[in-house]
Structure 1
Amino acid sequence: MKFTDGYWLLREGVTAAHPVEVLDVTAAGDTPCGGGTLEIHAPTRPVRHRGDLLTGPVVTISVHAPLPDVIGITFTHFEGGQPRTPRFEVRRQKCAAQVSYDDEHALLTSGTLSARVARTGPWRVDFLAGGRTLTGSGAKGMGIMRDATGAHYLREQLDLRVGTGVYGLGERFGPLVKNGQVVDIWNADGGTATEQAYKNAPFYLTDAGYGVFVDHPGKVSFEVGSESVSRVQFSVESQQLTYYVIHGPDLLVAPVFSDEGDVTYYVPEGTWTRFADGRTVTGPRWVRERHGFLSVPLLVRPGAVIPVGAVDDRPDYDHADGVTLRAFRPARGAPVTVRVGDMTFTVVREGDTLRASAGDPSRPWALAAGERTARAGAGTGFLTVELG
């Protein structure tokens, strides 16, 4: 859904209010292990004196983390509305985040992902991982919008870097790369040759190492580099909007666009392992390859543990039943926790031995490193593999 007329103007009848700066920020819900959230109040006009708080809305913004490497933003105009169902079930883990702030920034860190909010100057929130900025929201990105009919919308715009491809949004019948498209998340029986689709999902994935899930079960309108070519916009008719930025640090996937299958991609620093054949690629450097219709460049970061399901012909099955935990170049003494469905595994290397434990071994599972695999039946909670 578009609200602007070009870059400078709003469409006829549309009004907008945007957070312009941080008024105050507090760390909420602190626990002994450091977990918590950031609660922010942001006015929609600069506060020069006390009277400026009497004009225009002040919005509440919560920064939180349900799981490691996942950070949520909840943007609220008016609170107190009755919860609407159905709702998406979001899995949560205690102490998933650590919060801190100084005079310049407020920071929430979850795993390898951080959200940094500017406390001085114009409104700005950035999502960072691995020493780089993945995406962010700046001036006039987040907003309270009203259209000519008086309908109330909340909108967010996240930065889209040059050359970043956007994928996902559920079942679609158009081009695979969603850049430049308008996608409305609303299930409809419109056939398989229109913009309507049966199985929409308010989640998009980028080739820049992150995805975004909009936690809203109703209609979500996405403008993927279409209203603003340098941003992905999403909006809902609601008083509250929650979205999650999800960072995937362990896998590097490069899309193939040419008919010949030629692809050039950048490998970050480190020794990465090809998922398909186990060969290694050392970065940082550019790599050029040729792939057929049944393969893409897929590299695994050193130290990662990737769960591989036992079923490869359908997505809807018990993912924990028969799962294999594949460890790639594990570091000594660095435990890795992996959750698959309702089962939680911990994998750690001790010397030349790789050990894994299952919290609730109610189903068979396996542990693999290189060409060596150890398998366990239901009820077995520990496995080891000797590393060559």
Structure 2
Amino acid sequence: MKFTDGYWKLLPGVTLLRPQSVDEVVDDAGRLVVYAPTAPILTRGDTLNRPLVTVSFDAPMDDVVGVRIEHHQGRRDPGPHFEVSRAPGDSKVVLPLVEGEHGASLTSGRLAARVATDGGWRVDFVADGRVLTSSTDRSVGVVTTPDGAHHVREQLTIGVGEHLYGLGERFGALVKNGQSVDIWNEDGGTASDQAYKNVPFYLSDAGYGVFVAHPERVSFEVGTEVVSRTQFSVVGETLQYYVIYGATPKEILSRYTALTGRPARVPAWSFGLWLSTSFTTDYDEGTVTSFIDGMAEREIPLSVFHFDCFWMRQFHWCDFVWDPATFPDPEGMLARLRAKGLRISAWINPYVAQRSHLFAEGCEKGYLVLTPAGDVWQWDMWQAGMALVDFTNPDAKAWYLAQLKGLLDQGVDCFKTDFGERIPTDVVWHDGSDPQRMHNYYAHLYNEAVFELLQAERGEGEAVLFARSATAGGQQFPVHWGGDCESTYASMAESLRGGLSLALSGFGYWSHDIGGFEGTPDPAVFKRWTAFGLLSSHSRLHASDSYRVPWAFDDEAVDVARTFTRLKMSLMPYLARVAGEAHGQGVPMMRPMMLEFPGDRGTAGVDTQYMLGDALLVAPVFSTEGDVEYYVPEGRWTNLLDGRAVSGPRWVAERHGFDSLPLLVRPGTVLPVGARTDRPDYAWADGVTLRLFELPDGHDSTTTVPSETGEPTTFRTRREGRRVTVTSDDARAPWAVQVGDRVVRAEGAGSVELPV
């Protein structure tokens, strides 16, 4: 929200109080507390009728500084709050900084907040001898707007050449400089500035991130109120934020996800191809079986089948009852589908239509959200007489999950947790939560509840969702998909931008509707999108009113789907390791170029390509003709599909057929490729081939191939001169090494030596 008219003047009717001096600094049990009057204090009389701003600094974990700006501290705080982990480490408060200098500091690991205590207000956030960002004399503000609302704002400086990223899944430019963003979940598709997944966290390529720990609406002015500052503001009397230091963007994300929660481990089968009934299409068991058998007949591996909304009766969503006219034998049907080796996903949402048999029960027992008058909140959008389950009520949560458990007992494996964005603010929550804060936070409670049920019923590492809405911390409950996009190249590109922006907001996995959701793509769009979708972390064929089976387009679409599905299955030894990094370190599987190459300024604004893990560069093709331009970082890269070499740093223009795209292997890579192409969940080390790409003389690396059920298998690769040696002490199955076209095979533990 903007408060000024240009740089010098406030907007009409706006008043602003700013810290003008520091009255006192206090070491409060490891917290640095600063009392800052809103005018210089020259005499005792200046303290009368004078507002005071209290700013406190603490260290929840190393390399993180928490900042709390407060005006009036007596306001009731009903919650909810983001869960922030605390693991205090090496921190200290120093008063003064050095002998003869006016100032104070709080140090957290390598990061310090240095507060000037003489002259105007200034706080520098310093790490490794340099200032990362600062709060200056015009930054902190306690604001009153013409409607009488109180706000607290902060403005942190943006350096020359600095780029900011994140703020959730945003479909505009990847670099957020020059954008105004409101953190407020909306069901707005992928073609506007609204988003399903709003996250009040941004990452800077200057070595820091900022997390504004407010579930309610947070307004960001990224170089738009003042072009050299990022402003963020909330309604109320308090603003809490955290500055996070990292020597690299990956390190910042790792620290941020340590603070707000790491992505869970997802099952191996979830990396296979998901096929949906689509939304409003006509289907029954015969249709479903024909789709599944059609995929098998065409040798396109399929891992998950998804039943979208109309598995339930119209006007009954959600009652969790299979439509008896269409699916008279759901248990038998699910058993028959599972016998084909498939997992089953079912669509759900957190709403209860008035016609549902659960509506009266929810009303009677107080499980539905109420209006201030005590009525059940309802409207007719989406479903007639729709009400909303109150997840702040433990009994309501248990009631809702009991319905889902019934589906799991029938044979469903996972859920598409749709919606969760249209959350009213003129309501009363069971636990007294602030309705403004619950608007975004509801998605967190909803997905958390369903994910925890799946973990309890299916086991750790077997839970997976297909979720649309989220906010900070929602990365703990994967997977998330990009929402309702159109079936065009432009929408394909905006979907990618949304996924890359989400990746820089702490989310480790991401998917999208292959071919687009709204409308029916022409065959060219479908084929280009298929290659992109099967080189994403998770891959789903889904749409609104048309089927997405490849043969609905043309024969070549079938070939493309088969080629890229099988390619992805063969890459599982590599992808499983990359997924482990998302879970263990908070580094996403799909990575914007700047995340993997922070020292290359050529990657700063690139948002039409990405790294899949650390070793594979993917550049989707956004044209029917196959023309594509992509950026290649330094080194000699190799196209995995045809073996052609491309050297960088430079932009490259190429033309690709539908069966191809730029898929480059990073120089110095040992890429493990699996022996199977028919499914994602297999023994990845059994028959694995280690493909070597442009290893420099002196190369010495360890490649780990994970296992779902046992210990990983490790291989050590060393190059000396013109020879390379690969050794494994724990291989228990055949494996091979490939350089160019030459392949050397081994059995179990031992070594392979070959020329390069």
TM over 0.5: yes
Structure 2 equivalent of residue 70 of structure 1? 64
Q: What CA distance in whole angstroms lies between the structure 2 residues aligned with 1:153 and 1:88?
A: 20
**Aligned partner of residue 25 in structure 2, secondary structure:** strand
Change (3 A) 1:373 1:210: farther
Is 1:60 the counterpart of 2:54? The answer is yes
Question: Normalising to structure 1: TM-score of the pair?
Answer: 0.67
C-alpha deviation, 1:96, in angstroms: 4.3
Q: Is the 8 A contact 2:163 2:604 kept in 1?
A: no
Q: What CA distance in whole angstroms lies between the structure 2 residues aligned with 1:296 and 1:48?
A: 66
CA deviation map 1:350-374 (0-9, x unaligned) = xxxxxxxxxxxxx988799985999
Gap regions ≥5 residues in structure 2: 251-596, 607-628, 638-647, 653-661, 667-708, 718-726, 731-756
Q: What CA distance in whole angstroms lies between the structure 2 residues aligned with 1:296 and 1:10?
A: 53
C-alpha deviation, 1:148, in angstroms: 0.8
Q: Is the 8 A contact 1:366 1:373 kept in 2?
A: no
Change (3 A) 1:365 1:186: farther
Structure 2 equivalent of residue 119 of structure 1? 117
Gap regions ≥5 residues in structure 1: 30-35, 265-273, 277-287, 298-362, 376-388
Corresponding letter in the other structure for 2:631: G
Q: Is the 8 A contact 2:149 2:236 kept in 1?
A: no
Q: What CA distance in whole angstroms lies between the structure 2 residues aligned with 1:197 and 1:179?
A: 18
Structure 1 equivalent of residue 215 of structure 2? 217
Q: What CA distance in whole angstroms lies between the structure 2 residues aligned with 1:193 and 1:100?
A: 50
* RMSD of equivalent CA atoms: 3.0
Question: Normalising to structure 2: TM-score of the pair?
Answer: 0.35
Structure 2 equivalent of residue 2 of structure 1? 2
Q: What CA distance in whole angstroms lies between the structure 1 residues aligned with 2:105 and 2:729?
A: 41
**Aligned partner of residue 125 in structure 2, secondary structure:** strand
Structure 1 equivalent of residue 631 of structure 2? 261
Corresponding letter in the other structure for 1:52: D
Corresponding letter in the other structure for 1:86: P
How many residue pairs match? The answer is: 285
C-alpha deviation, 1:93, in angstroms: 1.4
Q: What CA distance in whole angstroms lies between the structure 2 residues aligned with 1:172 and 1:199?
A: 8
Q: Is the 8 A contact 2:59 2:88 kept in 1?
A: no
Structure 2 equivalent of residue 167 of structure 1? 165
Change (3 A) 1:261 1:104: same
Structure 2 equivalent of residue 176 of structure 1? 174
Report which of the two has the higher share of helix.
Answer: 2
Is 1:39 the counterpart of 2:33? The answer is yes
Q: How is 1:319-358 mapped onto 2 (pairs within 5 angstroms)?
A: none
Change (3 A) 1:368 1:123: farther
Structure 1 equivalent of residue 77 of structure 2? 83
Q: What CA distance in whole angstroms lies between the structure 2 residues aligned with 1:53 and 1:216?
A: 32
Structure 2 residue aligned with 1:131, among 124, 129, 132?
129
Q: What CA distance in whole angstroms lies between the structure 2 residues aligned with 1:49 and 1:295?
A: 69
Change (3 A) 1:160 1:295: farther
Change (3 A) 1:128 1:190: same
Change (3 A) 1:177 1:215: same
Q: Is the 8 A contact 1:68 1:96 kept in 2?
A: yes
Structure 1 equivalent of residue 16 of structure 2? 16
CA deviation map 1:293-347 (0-9, x unaligned) = 77899xxxxxxxxxxxxxxxxxxxxxxxxxxxxxxxxxxxxxxxxxxxxxxxxxx
Q: Is the 8 A contact 2:218 2:234 kept in 1?
A: yes
Corresponding letter in the other structure for 1:15: T
Q: What CA distance in whole angstroms lies between the structure 1 residues aligned with 2:713 and 2:106?
A: 33
Q: Is the 8 A contact 2:80 2:215 kept in 1?
A: yes
Q: What CA distance in whole angstroms lies between the structure 1 residues aligned with 2:710 and 2:115?
A: 44
Moved more, 249-258 or 111-120: 249-258
Q: Is the 8 A contact 1:154 1:237 kept in 2?
A: yes
Change (3 A) 1:370 1:121: farther
C-alpha deviation, 1:56, in angstroms: 2.8
Structure 2 equivalent of residue 331 of structure 1? none
Corresponding letter in the other structure for 1:38: L
Q: Is the 8 A contact 2:150 2:237 kept in 1?
A: yes
Corresponding letter in the other structure for 2:219: S
**Aligned partner of residue 133 in structure 2, secondary structure:** strand
C-alpha deviation, 1:289, in angstroms: 2.8
Tell which structure's C-alpha radius of gyration is larger: 2
Corresponding letter in the other structure for 1:162: V
Structure 2 equivalent of residue 340 of structure 1? none
Change (3 A) 1:41 1:374: farther
C-alpha deviation, 1:211, in angstroms: 0.6
Q: Is the 8 A contact 1:155 1:235 kept in 2?
A: yes
C-alpha deviation, 1:290, in angstroms: 4.0
**Aligned partner of residue 261 in structure 1, secondary structure:** strand
Change (3 A) 1:370 1:129: farther
Change (3 A) 1:289 1:60: same
Structure 1 residue aligned with 2:93, among 99, 105, 115?
99
C-alpha deviation, 1:257, in angstroms: 3.7
**Aligned partner of residue 182 in structure 1, secondary structure:** strand
CA deviation map 1:259-292 (0-9, x unaligned) = 552669xxxxxxxxx9x9xxxxxxxxxxx83478
Structure 2 equivalent of residue 25 of structure 1? 25
Q: What CA distance in whole angstroms lies between the structure 2 residues aligned with 1:66 and 1:369?
A: 38
C-alpha deviation, 1:82, in angstroms: 2.1
Corresponding letter in the other structure for 2:85: R
Q: What CA distance in whole angstroms lies between the structure 1 residues aligned with 2:205 and 2:710?
A: 34
Structure 2 residue aligned with 1:289, among 624, 627, 649?
649
Q: Is the 8 A contact 1:141 1:158 kept in 2?
A: yes
Structure 2 residue aligned with 1:232, among 226, 230, 233?
230
C-alpha deviation, 1:94, in angstroms: 3.2
Q: What CA distance in whole angstroms lies between the structure 2 residues aligned with 1:53 and 1:369?
A: 70
Q: What CA distance in whole angstroms lies between the structure 2 residues aligned with 1:373 and 1:21?
A: 64
C-alpha deviation, 1:190, in angstroms: 1.6
**Aligned partner of residue 128 in structure 1, secondary structure:** strand
Q: What CA distance in whole angstroms lies between the structure 1 residues aligned with 2:665 and 2:208?
A: 18
**Aligned partner of residue 167 in structure 2, secondary structure:** strand
Q: Is the 8 A contact 2:27 2:33 kept in 1?
A: yes
Change (3 A) 1:54 1:262: farther
